[in-house]
Structure 1
Amino acid sequence: MILVTGATGNLGAAAIDHLLTKVGPDSIAAYARNEAKAAPLRAKGVDVRLGDYDDSAALAAAMEGVSKVLLVSSTDHGKLQDQHLNVIRAAEKTGVEHVVYTGTAVKDADASPISPMLQAHFRTEDDLRSSSVAHTVVRNTMYTDALPVFIGADVFERGINLPVGDGRTPFALRREMAEAAANVLLQDGHEGKTYELTASESYTFSDIAQALSERSGKPVRYVSPDPQAFEDGLRSAGVPEFGVATISGFVTDMREGRYDIVTRDFEDLLGRRPMSLSETLQEVYGL
């Protein structure tokens, strides 16, 4: 039995969809907070077990009879490490054989403006290494799916206005990362390993603008403004201060090359090359 946490989120749901192409629904359990949101999983025959990352008792109950767990990282960044530790301890308590954790592929995290958020992922990795449970870490790069958050859904009308300069990021599609994580759960020999899931090459936002232009037939211009002016623009648009700091932090990390990591791990786990930038943009923007 495989338990997927964060099962109603985009990554968890995509992992379950891929698992269902390989094993029957009676081999999959979903850990979810909301019964209504989990209804589509029940409709697919998946065993839904309710609870959250703060509920140690619910976690332990959800892991009864489970041999493998996909720990999809929490989005509650103030409590992220503690919540992950609750999952790890529940796995130890119930005799789970293997935990696969979705971390983040980033370098020089100490220098990042969002260092506390990033470091919580690496401290979770330390907690896994200190535990008695066999584990695998899959560090995900930035999602192509997240690009509309940074450049807007109206990019074809307004262009790209983001202070990333010539910074490069190996954007990849979230559902393919979910597929890679699911493959780790389905295969033997991944215990104790750390994989960095990145596209086969890194891209600048000039590359993104060009790919969008070619796919859409509309010219998309890329401008890299002054970072302070960009932040002021977010505030003027009504973005709360926490949102400004978070978006600006990710943008700074892209500008300074912290996500510029390229490995073959993703290709090896998928058994093929991941989708190209143009292909992922086509899917994300419905081109």
Structure 2
Amino acid sequence: MILVTGATGHLGTAVLQTLLRKTDAAQLAAFVRDEQKAAELKAQGVSLRLGSYEDSASLEQAMQGIEKVLLISGGGEEDALQQHQQVVDAAKRAGVRCLAYTSRALKDPSTLANQLMVRHFQTEAYIQASGLSYLIFRNILYMDVLPLFTGPQVLETGINLPAGQGKVAYALRSEMGEAIANVLLKPSYASCIYHLTGRTAYSFDDVAAALTAASGKKVAYTPVEKAAFAAGMQKRGVPELAIERTIGFMTDIAHGQEAEVSHDLETLLGRQPTPLQEGVKMLYKL
């Protein structure tokens, strides 16, 4: 059986949608906090295992009879690394044969501005030291976050971000979920690291050009200074932590952290990932 954690989240849902298309629901389990939110999964025949990353007893109980576990990384909690470690430890105690983890595709973890990302590589190291067979999916920044970065009025205001001329090899979250599911369904338990990225790295000038082509309105990208960007967010009432993390993402983009391109996603999908131009039409409903 395959257990998917974070099963009602965006990525967990994408993974399970593919798994349900390609294998019997009786072979699938979902680790969830809220049974009501997972009612649709239960109706489809997926076994629900209740608990949380903080509750080691519930984790170990959830993993009974499980061969492969997909650990979808937690959010921005301060104790996220400890939570991940508890999942790994529970998997060992339960006799899980293979642990998969959703990490991040970043060029150089040692020079990251966004320190929230460091825990991904600490988790990777902990998994690799555990003795478990592992699958690590280093995911690029989701194309799906572009509307959050550019703002809802982007066709009127243009794109104003402190990302310089940095590029990102964006890929859709749904396609990453599909690729991850395809790997989980393989009969192999061999350890492997995958880099899930698009085929091309795009700058925000490219994003602006794609928006212009899709909307028929001229959209420009204007690089701005971090201080001015932060001041604008503060004026809109954005919490300080959110400002700090957003600037961290932008700084890492400017430094080329998100620009590495791999063909792993294309190989696992068996087709080319959705390019920026098509993704923009869908994400902005153009």
Confirm or deny a common fold (TM above 0.5): yes
Provide Cα deviations, 1:154-200, integer angstroms capped at 9, x if missing partner.
Answer: 21222111121211110110010111111110114462211111110
Distance 1:68 1:172, change over 3 A: same
Q: Which residue of 2 aligns with 1:260?
A: 259
What is the deviation of 1:254?
A: 0.7
- SS of 1:223's partner is strand
Instruction: Give the Cα–Cα distance (whole angstroms) in 2 for the partners of residues 238 and 112 of structure 1.
Output: 26
Asked if structure 1 preserves the Cα contact closer than 8 Å seen for 2:88 and 2:130, the reply is yes
User: Is 1:224 aligned with 2:215?
Assistant: no
- TM-score for the superposition, normalised by structure 1: 0.96
- SS of 1:45's partner is coil
Asked if structure 2 preserves the Cα contact closer than 8 Å seen for 1:5 and 1:12, the reply is yes
Instruction: Give the Cα–Cα distance (whole angstroms) in 2 for the partners of residues 233 and 76 of structure 1.
Output: 23
Q: Which residue of 2 aligns with 1:246?
A: 245
- SS of 1:21's partner is helix
Matches within 5 A, 1:64-213: 64-115=64-115, 117-189=116-188, 191-213=190-212
User: Is 1:12 aligned with 2:4?
Assistant: no
Instruction: Give the Cα–Cα distance (whole angstroms) in 2 for the partners of residues 18 and 215 of structure 1.
Output: 29
Mind listing any 5+ residue stretches in structure 2 that lack a counterpart?
none
Provide Cα deviations, 1:206-250, integer angstroms capped at 9, x if missing partner.
Answer: 101111111122221211112210011111110111111000100
User: Is 1:54 aligned with 2:59?
Assistant: no
Asked if structure 1 preserves the Cα contact closer than 8 Å seen for 2:133 and 2:189, the reply is no
Instruction: Give the Cα–Cα distance (whole angstroms) in 2 for the partners of residues 66 and 190 of structure 1.
Output: 13
Asked if structure 1 preserves the Cα contact closer than 8 Å seen for 2:170 and 2:198, the reply is yes
- SS of 1:30's partner is strand
What is the deviation of 1:286?
A: 2.0
Provide Cα deviations, 1:4-38, integer angstroms capped at 9, x if missing partner.
Answer: 00001000011000101101211111111112211
Structure 1's consecutive aligned runs of 4 or more residues displaced over 3 angstroms after TM superposition are none
What is the deviation of 1:81?
A: 1.3
Asked if structure 1 preserves the Cα contact closer than 8 Å seen for 2:109 and 2:121, the reply is no
Asked if structure 2 preserves the Cα contact closer than 8 Å seen for 1:2 and 1:70, the reply is yes
Q: Which residue of 2 aligns with 1:34?
A: 34
Instruction: Give the Cα–Cα distance (whole angstroms) in 1 for the partners of residues 225 and 141 of structure 2.
Output: 22
The one-letter amino acid paired with 1:33 is R
The one-letter amino acid paired with 2:56 is S
- SS of 1:274's partner is coil
- Residue range with higher mean Cα deviation, 182-191 or 14-23: 182-191
What is the deviation of 1:40?
A: 2.1
- SS of 1:136's partner is strand
Identity among equivalent positions (%) equals 44
Instruction: Give the Cα–Cα distance (whole angstroms) in 2 for the partners of residues 130 and 161 of structure 1.
Output: 43
Instruction: Give the Cα–Cα distance (whole angstroms) in 2 for the partners of residues 77 and 107 of structure 1.
Output: 23
User: Is 1:43 aligned with 2:43?
Assistant: yes
- SS of 1:103's partner is strand
- SS of 2:266's partner is helix
Q: Which residue of 1 aligns with 2:281?
A: 282
Instruction: Give the Cα–Cα distance (whole angstroms) in 2 for the partners of residues 191 and 73 of structure 1.
Output: 21
Provide Cα deviations, 1:104-161, integer angstroms capped at 9, x if missing partner.
Answer: 001222222222x222111111111111211010100000111111111221222111
Mind listing any 5+ residue stretches in structure 1 that lack a counterpart?
none
What is the deviation of 1:99?
A: 1.1
Instruction: Give the Cα–Cα distance (whole angstroms) in 2 for the partners of residues 237 and 102 of structure 1.
Output: 32
